[in-house]
Structure 1
Amino acid sequence: MPQLNTSTWFITIMTMLPALYLMMQLKLLNMNYYSPPSQKNLNTQAFNNPWQLKWTKIYLPHLQPLHS
């Protein structure tokens, strides 16, 4: 059985890493990134709703005392 020659593995791996890094950088360079949405100055108007004018208290059925 022939013996596996591993003498060039170190050089192969060391040249593969920068090549993969450069390929990834070129791939990311061509990607289109969307800009964040710009803030709009909206004039907020205060609407008077009927439920904002009065104070109401809601009693849930399980919070009421038991009637005996």
Structure 2
Amino acid sequence: MNRIQNIEHEIKKLSNAELRAFRAWFLKHDSEIWDEQIENDVLSGKLDKLAQDSILAHKKGRSKQI
């Protein structure tokens, strides 16, 4: 078994309460990783072109209010 299969196997053995706790922890953990990646991308300039293109499109009237 590889690591993922081991983790899946262990998760299947959790009680409902343990699964709820794990799910809450994992959602928080996943969100923190995503936030860190976005922050790193912003700081490194990876999103600059996307932001510039979006601003230009808005100025040209090619955006919609949501």
TM-score range, shorter chain: 0.3 to 0.5
Q: Which has the larger radius of gyration?
A: 1
TM-score by length of 2: 0.36
TM-score by length of 1: 0.35
Please identify which structure carries the higher helix content. Answer: 2
